Structure 1
Amino acid sequence: MKLEVGLFILRVYLGFAFFMHGLAKFQGGVGNTASWFDSIGLPGFAAYIVAAVELVGGLLLIVGFGTRYISALFFIILLVATLKVKLSSGFMGNGQGSGFELDLAYAVMAIFFVFYPASSLSLESKIGNKGRE
């Protein structure tokens, strides 16, 4: 049961962190994020997709529904963010911007939930979605 509680805390934190990032994008105007995406060579419309995945996916991860799929999407978002934005700053940052250490930590958490079976402390375990193993 200690493992289940630890996984629950980790899953809820990761979901909360992504939810807050998605919420910030919507509160700040997703159009601003879309413009920034354009400026770094990503299609602007992707900002709307990323913001929605972060917001809705964060909530779904908190309750433990679709954990494997949401975590895979989070991993992809983090991979693109690291390669496109943070990699040039290095692991710890370069004095002009933060590095990719936090992004990598979140990516490791996300990929863990892609491979780890459903927790008994999740909504998906309560509604019969036990086919994750």
Structure 2
Amino acid sequence: MLDNADIGKLIVRLTLGGLLLFHGIAKLIHGIDFIEGQLTSHGIPAFFAYGVYIGEVIAPLMVILGYQTRIGAVIIVFNMLVAIALVHSHELLALSGSGGWALELQGFFLFTALALIFLGPGKYKLKS
């Protein structure tokens, strides 16, 4: 009973998608002004900030539902690489106040999505 890779994949999908979706919902409620500012400070047009809704709302829903999971995971990987490059690059080698990696959360989202690209959704998913 404990040897069930499909249940493990479901747990990974629900965890990654669920936790990242909270960030997307916060952006839906509070807006994306910060992201627009970060993009323009790097010479990138502000309208690209709307892509965060794809990376933090649509892609997590895809992952949670198991619908085109690998595509959703690729989008999340791209989203996290952009976030790290624009906002967190100075923390790549930093530790937090409690001794953990300063980018634990971003690393979790990035590497869990990367793992899902290789694992796939498992048996418990929407039929696609």
What's the TM-score, normalizing by structure 1?
Answer: 0.78
Alignment-derived partner of residue 45 in structure 1: 47
Q: State the distance in 1 between where 2:96 and 2:20 align.
A: 25
Amino acid corresponding to residue 32 of structure 2 in structure 1: V
Q: Any unmatched runs of 5+ in structure 1? A: none
Q: 1:1-133 alignment to 2 at 5 Å?
A: 2-93=4-95, 99-123=102-126, 127=127, 129=128
Amino acid corresponding to residue 67 of structure 1 in structure 2: T
Kindly provide the CA deviation profile for residues 93-130 of structure 1, in whole angstroms up to 9, marking residues without a partner as x.
466xx82222112111101111123310111xxx2x4x
Kindly provide the CA deviation profile for residues 59-118 of structure 1, in whole angstroms up to 9, marking residues without a partner as x.
1211110100010010011112222321212344466xx822221121111011111233
Question: Higher mean Cα deviation, 112-121 or 7-16?
Answer: 112-121
Q: State the distance in 1 between where 2:48 and 2:29 align.
A: 17
Q: State the distance in 2 between where 1:53 and 1:103 align.
A: 13
Assess, with a 3 A threshold, how the Cα gap between structure 1 residues 81 and 32 changes in structure 2: closer, same or farther. Answer: closer
Structure scoring higher RCO (CA < 8 A, sep ≥ 6) equals 2
Assess, with a 3 A threshold, how the Cα gap between structure 1 residues 66 and 21 changes in structure 2: closer, same or farther. Answer: same
Question: What CA RMSD, in Å, does the superposition of the two structures yield over aligned residues?
Answer: 2.2
Q: Any unmatched runs of 5+ in structure 2? A: none
Deviation of 1:10 after TM superposition, in Å, equals 1.0
Question: Identity percentage over the alignment?
Answer: 27
Q: State the distance in 2 between where 1:31 and 1:92 align.
A: 26
Deviation of 1:37 after TM superposition, in Å, equals 2.8
